[in-house]
Amino acid sequence: MKKHIIIIFAALIACSCSEWLERTPANKFAAETFFASESDLELYANGLINSALPGASDMALGSDRYTDFCGTRQSYDFFWGTFTAAQATNWNSSTWSFNRRVAYMIENMPRCKNNVSSEIYNHYEGVARFWRTWITLKRMKVFGDIYFIDKVIQPSDSLILYGPRQDREYIWHRMKEDLEFACENCLTSGQGINSAGRVYVNKYVALAFASHAFLFEGTYRKYHSVNPSTGKPWNGEYESANELLSLAEKYAKELIDTKAFSLNSDYRSLFVSATLPTDEVIWGCTYSSELSTNHGVTYKYCSTTSSLSYSPTKEYVRMFLKTDGKPAEEAVSVTKEFIGRDKRLAATVLSPGQTWKRLNGSNEELPPNWTWTCAGYEWIKWVQLEEEPMSADNKSYNSIPIIRYAEVLLNYAEAAAELGHMTQTIWDQTIGALRTRAGVASIYPGSAGYVADTWLRNYYTLDVKHPSTLTDIQLEIRRERATELTLEGQSRYDDLMRWCLGDLIERRYNHQGWRGIYITPEEAASGFTWAGKTYTVSSAKASNETNYKISGTANSNWSLSNGTYGYLIYNYKLVWDDMMYTHPIPLSALNVNPNLGQNEGWQWM
């Protein structure tokens, strides 16, 4: 990515609350002389991009690696059942320094009000308020109740420095004001505002993010009966769940109605191209081998030693429909289950016939490497197969979409469905359009030809905490979010959190672990062939590129669901408790300010 080389502030060092909050910006330009022109506003806004724009590690190696859809050789310690407030991090000076920088801009930019047009002024205020909401939501997803920092804190502000956290519903009321302002005032064009690099915050980015943010909190309030930070029912003082969902619906539709974006015909190109497909990518991060701005995503997914053997699970693969729009079968050999399926499956998970370019220049069929995966399936969503994947770290140059038009369509569909507004017209415009691109027949639930998926319903509702009240439309939208967005940042993780389905992380395949490929009785006896190699499961051989060592017991790393054949299970037990919808406030922060209070359930951990 073409990096902005001007850094507005030096990094803030760790220090006491009062010290870092009163600190003058490190490179010491005076506010009374700096915020004087449009170029000053642009310069400062570019500094915010430089600091906070999500990149490859955020989007392609995000929290989705630790969900029901991705097996790992070793999971995140948060799910081990031993996590405590003493281990918690990310509540210190650096956590809040970006909030301070945004507050500094908003507080000082009135100095240039007479030197720029109201249109330009309001655009940059909208940009700043976008960033304030972006970072606040990011922190709220972790800690729940936090602070809404709307000014540069001074030592006299003892309530903020040493007072309790603010209520989530109040914070969301303030975030709503920011998002509404950004959506109304950010521009769609101007000095680089809608460049091919898709790096700048503009009206389209604001609208898309607003649809995401309001959907997140609207469904969170709907499916969680209590504020997880307090364990108490929502107080209802500000916006209701339905009001937030209505805003998600409104802003998604507003962006759709601009007709500024469309679905790119080549789904896979969205994730492996050097240049961002600007027909669909609303906001992105550009990388370039020419400019030596590479990343290591391909290597992380295709490495025996560096990665954690990230693996798509059978539950993920099972989400993909057949091309006739009907559910797929369960117990199918991995060599056959890609036939007649949604095209996104083979664009995301390694399938027979997929080729790669070797270092010697030849194109060959890519064989599975079982040291790269713990469940038999391999991710290729972000993998650049144009060059041999195991080349080296920091060689990838594919640019990274942050927000895509496809997500806006999904946000619109889900908000409409949750509000009871879904129609055939909205379905065709959203879910139907995504399925058409994927080569899947779009069948409106309840219409002629629709086949309800019992497996899908059971997966989301077969638990006393999750009664079977979801409609087929809601279930199909959840399927579509899985097939379209998984492995993009923390899309799947966010979905589980807001739908109150965090327990799916623990109850993976009968609480055993991650379920992978299906091994038929014949394959268990003789193996199967892929790209000229024979793949086996054996109790005698050590685990290697073409063999998993199966001991026959559920206590080994790998076992087969039926003993001598069946689904490959990577046995790895995890723990879930509803207090985990928030992380604990770090003990180090509580020692400085006991009035922060601990999130519900973590007081004794």
What's the length of the chain? 605
Output DSSP code: residue 11. P
pLDDT digit string (tens) for 507-530? Answer: 999 999 999 999 999 999 999 999
- Indicate the helix (H) or strand (E) that contains 226: strand 226-227
Parallel, antiparallel, or unpaired for β 533-538 and 547-549?
parallel
DSSP per residue, 547-580 = EEEB-SSTTSSEEETTSSSEEEEEE------GGG
Q: Please tell me which residue, 93 or 167, carries the higher pLDDT value.
A: 167
Residue 412 phi, psi dihedral angles, 5° rounding: -65, -45
Residue 401 phi, psi dihedral angles, 5° rounding: -70, 135
pLDDT digit string (tens) for 298-355? Answer: 999 998 887 789 999 999 999 999 999 999 999 999 999 999 999 999 999 999 999 9
What token pair was written down for 88? Answer: 């918690």
In angstroms, the CA 208 to CA 191 distance is 21
Q: How confident is the model at residue 24 (pLDDT cuts 50, 70, 90)?
A: very low
Q: How confident is the model at residue 555 (pLDDT cuts 50, 70, 90)?
A: confident
Which of 304-313, 408-417, 566-575 has the least mean pLDDT? 304-313
In angstroms, the CA 470 to CA 512 distance is 26
**Which residues does residue 295 pair with via DSSP β-bridges, in sequence order?**
396
pTM: 0.93
Parallel, antiparallel, or unpaired for β 355-357 and 232-233?
unpaired
Q: How confident is the model at residue 94 (pLDDT cuts 50, 70, 90)?
A: confident
Three-class SS state of 537: strand
For the chain, count helices (H), then strands (E): 22, 14
Q: Where are the alpha helices (DSSP H) in 74-117?
A: 93-108
Confirm if 255 and 204 have CB atoms less than 8 A apart: yes
Three-class SS state of 357: strand
pLDDT digit string (tens) for 123-134? Answer: 999 999 999 999
Q: How confident is the model at residue 158 (pLDDT cuts 50, 70, 90)?
A: low
Measured N-to-C along each axis, helices 93-108 and 38-52 cross at an angle, to the nearest 10 degrees, of 160
Q: Which residues contact 184 (CB under 8 A, 6 or more apart)?
A: 126
Average pLDDT of the residues in 175-193: 94
Residue 125 phi, psi dihedral angles, 5° rounding: -65, -40
What token pair was written down for 418? Answer: 């949750």
Q: How confident is the model at residue 159 (pLDDT cuts 50, 70, 90)?
A: low
In angstroms, the CA 246 to CA 248 distance is 5
Instruction: Specify the pLDDT at position 93.
Output: 78
Strands (E), 452-521: 513-519
pLDDT over 90 at 604, yes or no: no
**Which residues does residue 71 pair with via DSSP β-bridges, in sequence order?**
311
Confirm if 273 and 399 have CB atoms less than 8 A apart: yes
Instruction: Specify the pLDDT at position 1.
Output: 39
pLDDT digit string (tens) for 26-36? Answer: 444 566 689 99
- Indicate the helix (H) or strand (E) that contains 17: helix 17-22
In angstroms, the CA 322 to CA 605 distance is 46
In angstroms, the CA 89 to CA 257 distance is 42
Residue 40 phi, psi dihedral angles, 5° rounding: -65, -45
Mean of all residue pLDDT scores within the chain? 91
Average pLDDT of the residues in 390-407: 89
Residue 376 phi, psi dihedral angles, 5° rounding: 95, -30
**Which residues does residue 293 pair with via DSSP β-bridges, in sequence order?**
288
Average pLDDT of the residues in 591-604: 94
**Which residues does residue 568 pair with via DSSP β-bridges, in sequence order?**
560
- Indicate the helix (H) or strand (E) that contains 34: helix 31-34
Instruction: Specify the pLDDT at position 394.
Output: 85
Question: How far is C-alpha 142 from the geometric centre of its chain's CA atoms?
Answer: 13
Indicate if the alpha-carbon torsion angle 595, 597, 603, 605 is positive or negative: negative
Scan for tokens 């999500």, then name that residue. Answer: 54
Measured N-to-C along each axis, helices 472-485 and 454-461 cross at an angle, to the nearest 10 degrees, of 90
pLDDT digit string (tens) for 111-121? Answer: 999 999 999 99
Parallel, antiparallel, or unpaired for β 528-530 and 513-519?
unpaired
Q: How many CB atoms lie within 10 A of CB 507?
A: 15
Question: How far is C-alpha 426 from the geometric centre of its chain's CA atoms?
Answer: 24
- Indicate the helix (H) or strand (E) that contains 272: helix 269-272
In angstroms, the CA 475 to CA 414 distance is 10
In angstroms, the CA 196 to CA 284 distance is 10
Instruction: Specify the pLDDT at position 358.
Output: 84
Q: 387 in the Ramachandran plot: left (φ > 0), alpha (ψ -120 to 50) or beta?
A: beta
Q: How many CB atoms lie within 10 A of CB 202?
A: 24
Instruction: Specify the pLDDT at position 15.
Output: 30
- Indicate the helix (H) or strand (E) that contains 403: strand 400-404
pLDDT over 60 at 20, yes or no: no
Rg (CA), the chain: 25
Instruction: Specify the pLDDT at position 234.
Output: 98
Instruction: Specify the pLDDT at position 454.
Output: 95
Instruction: Specify the pLDDT at position 503.
Output: 95
pLDDT over 90 at 500, yes or no: yes
pLDDT over 80 at 387, yes or no: no
pLDDT over 60 at 206, yes or no: yes
pLDDT over 90 at 196, yes or no: no
Q: For residue 212, give the nearest of 266, 169, 255 by alpha carbon.
A: 255
Q: For residue 518, give the nearest of 318, 291, 309, 289 by alpha carbon.
A: 318
- Indicate the helix (H) or strand (E) that contains 122: helix 118-143
Instruction: Specify the pLDDT at position 442.
Output: 97
Helix, strand and coil percent figures for the chain, each rounded to 5: 40, 10, 50
Three-class SS state of 231: coil
Parallel, antiparallel, or unpaired for β 363-365 and 355-357?
antiparallel
pLDDT digit string (tens) for 260-304? Answer: 999 999 999 999 999 999 999 999 999 988 888 899 999 999 988
In angstroms, the CA 257 to CA 278 distance is 17
In angstroms, the CA 140 to CA 599 distance is 12
Output DSSP code: residue 372. S
Q: Please tell me which residue, 174 or 386, carries the higher pLDDT value.
A: 174
